[in-house]
Structure 1
Amino acid sequence: MKKVLLVCFCFVLIYQASAQDLDSDIVQDTTYWDSGLSFGLNFNQASFSGNWKAGGVNSVAFGSLLTGNANYAKDKWTWDNQLEMIFGVVKNEGQELRKSNDRIFFDSKVGYKISDKWNYFGSLNFITQFADGFDYGPDEPTLISSFFAPAFLMTGFGAEYKPNDEFALRIAPISPRLTFVNNLTIADNVPENYGVPIGSKIRTEWLAAQVFMTYNKAITENFAINTRYQLFANYETLAFNTIDHRLDITVIAKITEFVDVTLTSINVYDIDMDPGIQYSQALALGILYKVSNKK
């Protein structure tokens, strides 16, 4: 716990140093803020009569999506914040309720412009999930994850290349990471325990580097793609197969003002979780409501 507090304290110092140059307008004047909030719900249902010859399983599925951003820019200073929360469940006939999607992501970055395309930055991002995750084998479901098991808290200090509003690349040669597994029983079912030593709830990787890339593009007025890629490398265990990769892709196609089709995909390689590549994909049709103060 002391290590967690130390990392958080170091990050707070960075923000406080930045705040000395960010005047009171950051709180009192919203002129320099661009913010937005999106909330989506989707519902899917299928039912079949007992004599339906084409076959099928009665099912009900529900999903929710909440994303928000609040970005400040004045003179050479920027402060970008992003929150993303996704959760979905599905109920097939003859089975208990199961998750179909689950993600919590938060990212905050303070930047200082040194040229038209380059910034110094300090950042913090956090990833975990809402609910328990299970491996559904032939016997009883096996608990393999839960809230804060795992959770990843990562800081980064370095330089950012941002040639336009669509693309950004952060290179952080200094990027400590904390990995949490607050449920000690997870190790009984996941021998790797997400890299956390057995019997402990936290692993600290002080000597590490991070690459963080985003590309958000509105292809047309009704079609957009948002991508996020993260690379994490621990200097102490550096090898080709120990470098972590994560790619998140969200594609949104607007049908009407409030109805959208959303495709989400997560692709992960982390040897501390599994020696193979993990991926998940979800396609949803539902209501998406957006509010924004963007000019």
Structure 2
Amino acid sequence: MKLPILLFFCCIFFLNSMASEKRYLAVKDTTSTITKDTTNTDSMMIYWTEKNTFGVNLSEVAFVNWNSGGNNSVSALFYANFQRNFERDLTMWRNTASLRYGINAQEGREIRKTEDELRLNSSFGFRTDSTSNWYYSGKFSFNSQFSNGYKYPDTEVAISRFMAPGYTFLGVGTEFSHPEEDLTIYLSPITFKSTFVLDQRLANEGMFGVEAAVTDELGNILREGENVRTEFGFLVTSDFRKEVYENIDLSNQLSLYSDYLNKFGNIDVDWQLTVNMQVNDFVKANIGSHIRYDDDVKFKEDTNGDGKLETSGPRIQLKQMLGVGVVYEF
């Protein structure tokens, strides 16, 4: 747990030190005997915008002499989002970080993790003239998790860990940014996807698409499994946000990726749809869904009742979210 926690605070420190809000720098000649040229004043302007969001969603159920039965429980979801955006002349640089961690404590059982996400995104682009909405762009993204994941109630054997898996995308392409709507579409025909499985046991099992270990007839490992898998493919992403009604915002984020060299046309999907409802400056409610599909992600389950988990094929992953909580933005 020490490494994920350290990374969490390093991310916050890095993003907060990147920029101050709306800075303006100008070079000015103080010598009165020299004629000053002010035609390049605008070119010296550096414009940063920033947004920080911290929030917690809580839910609690308690029973006293409740004849219908039930267990006392408390759930909490902690999250933070950071944005650092830079625009100057024909150049833009956008950076975001999303951190989420949820837990559930129920009477009579151990604390369980309900959500775990670490996601960083950075894109840099430039356009040829000020009237164009298309940018030549490069994009980098990283996502993983903070702590171990388990197939509950089994908490002895982890099915995922920090950087097991971890994903990075790095590519170049073109990005459309709508001048009025909060809409961006990114197309990249050259994108490298790297999958990291830094837990050797999971790597030996061939989890998350890496090459599994080579064993003999007795199960002895002859060659350890690979810790990294690299793919080369086509990436399409879109991000759309709109106020559909007063104090009700819609957010739609979609990512589609297909590898050129391995089953081209088999698409990895990552789709998030969220509706945010603002009660006041500090209280917000949200409802949303998150759908994932990755052909390389295999699932473990006990299919024959022997108490051991067998590896099965890929499946559609679905998460539904509903929460009300306190949010602080600055």
Judge same fold: TM > 0.5, yes or no: yes
Q: How much has 1:54 moved relative to structure 2?
A: 2.5
User: Which whole-Å CA distance do the structure 1 matches of 2:97 and 2:288 have between them?
Assistant: 16
Structure 1 length as normaliser, TM-score? 0.82
- The aligned counterpart of 1:43 is 58
Task: Name the SS of the counterpart of 1:109 in structure 2.
Answer: strand
User: Which whole-Å CA distance do the structure 1 matches of 2:151 and 2:157 have between them?
Assistant: 5
Matched, 1:155 2:170: yes
* Unmatched tracts of structure 1, length 5 or more: 1-23
User: Which whole-Å CA distance do the structure 2 matches of 1:63 and 1:222 have between them?
Assistant: 22
Q: How much has 1:154 moved relative to structure 2?
A: 0.5
Match of 1:259 among 274, 278, 283: 283
Matched, 1:65 2:104: no
Alignment of 1:92-241 (within 5 A): 92-114=106-128, 116-136=132-152, 142-164=157-179, 165-187=181-203, 191-198=205-212, 199-205=225-231, 207-240=232-265
User: Which whole-Å CA distance do the structure 2 matches of 1:25 and 1:194 have between them?
Assistant: 48
User: Which whole-Å CA distance do the structure 1 matches of 2:267 and 2:79 have between them?
Assistant: 30
Residues 31 and 287 (structure 1), Cα distance of their counterparts in 2 relative to 1, 3 Å cut: farther
Asked whether the 8 Å contact 2:203–2:211 carries over to 1, the reply is no
| Higher-helix-fraction structure | 1
User: Which whole-Å CA distance do the structure 2 matches of 1:266 and 1:30 have between them?
Assistant: 40
Asked whether the 8 Å contact 1:38–1:66 carries over to 2, the reply is yes
Q: Which of structures 1 and 2 has the larger relative contact order (alpha carbons within 8 angstroms, sep 6+)? A: 1
User: Which whole-Å CA distance do the structure 1 matches of 2:25 and 2:211 have between them?
Assistant: 46
Q: How much has 1:140 moved relative to structure 2?
A: 5.6
Q: Which amino acid in 2 is paired with 1:36? A: K
User: Which whole-Å CA distance do the structure 2 matches of 1:105 and 1:194 have between them?
Assistant: 18
- The aligned counterpart of 1:288 is 327
User: Which whole-Å CA distance do the structure 2 matches of 1:61 and 1:223 have between them?
Assistant: 25
Asked whether the 8 Å contact 1:192–1:273 carries over to 2, the reply is no
User: Which whole-Å CA distance do the structure 1 matches of 2:25 and 2:101 have between them?
Assistant: 36
User: Which whole-Å CA distance do the structure 2 matches of 1:140 and 1:67 have between them?
Assistant: 30
User: Which whole-Å CA distance do the structure 2 matches of 1:80 and 1:286 have between them?
Assistant: 27
Cα offsets for 1:83-115 (capped at 9, x unmatched): 111111001112211111111111100011135
Asked whether the 8 Å contact 1:87–1:102 carries over to 2, the reply is yes
Q: Which amino acid in 2 is paired with 1:147? A: F
Residues 85 and 224 (structure 1), Cα distance of their counterparts in 2 relative to 1, 3 Å cut: same
Q: How much has 1:282 moved relative to structure 2?
A: 2.2
User: Which whole-Å CA distance do the structure 1 matches of 2:286 and 2:156 have between them?
Assistant: 29
Residues 112 and 217 (structure 1), Cα distance of their counterparts in 2 relative to 1, 3 Å cut: same
Task: Name the SS of the counterpart of 1:65 in structure 2.
Answer: strand
Q: How many residue pairs get matched?
A: 260
Identity of aligned residues (%): 30
Task: Name the SS of the counterpart of 1:194 in structure 2.
Answer: helix
Match of 1:244 among 268, 272, 292: 268
User: Which whole-Å CA distance do the structure 1 matches of 2:163 and 2:296 have between them?
Assistant: 16
Structure 2 length as normaliser, TM-score? 0.74
Q: How much has 1:143 moved relative to structure 2?
A: 1.6
Q: Which amino acid in 2 is paired with 1:82? A: T
Larger radius of gyration: 2
Q: How much has 1:220 moved relative to structure 2?
A: 3.6
Q: How much has 1:251 moved relative to structure 2?
A: 2.2
User: Which whole-Å CA distance do the structure 2 matches of 1:42 and 1:238 have between them?
Assistant: 41
- The aligned counterpart of 2:103 is 89
Q: CA RMSD in A?
A: 2.1
Asked whether the 8 Å contact 2:46–2:88 carries over to 1, the reply is no
Cα offsets for 1:13-69 (capped at 9, x unmatched): xxxxxxxxxxx969xx885112101100122211112x4123322101111110011
Asked whether the 8 Å contact 1:192–1:272 carries over to 2, the reply is no
Q: Which amino acid in 2 is paired with 1:238? A: K
Task: Name the SS of the counterpart of 1:236 in structure 2.
Answer: coil
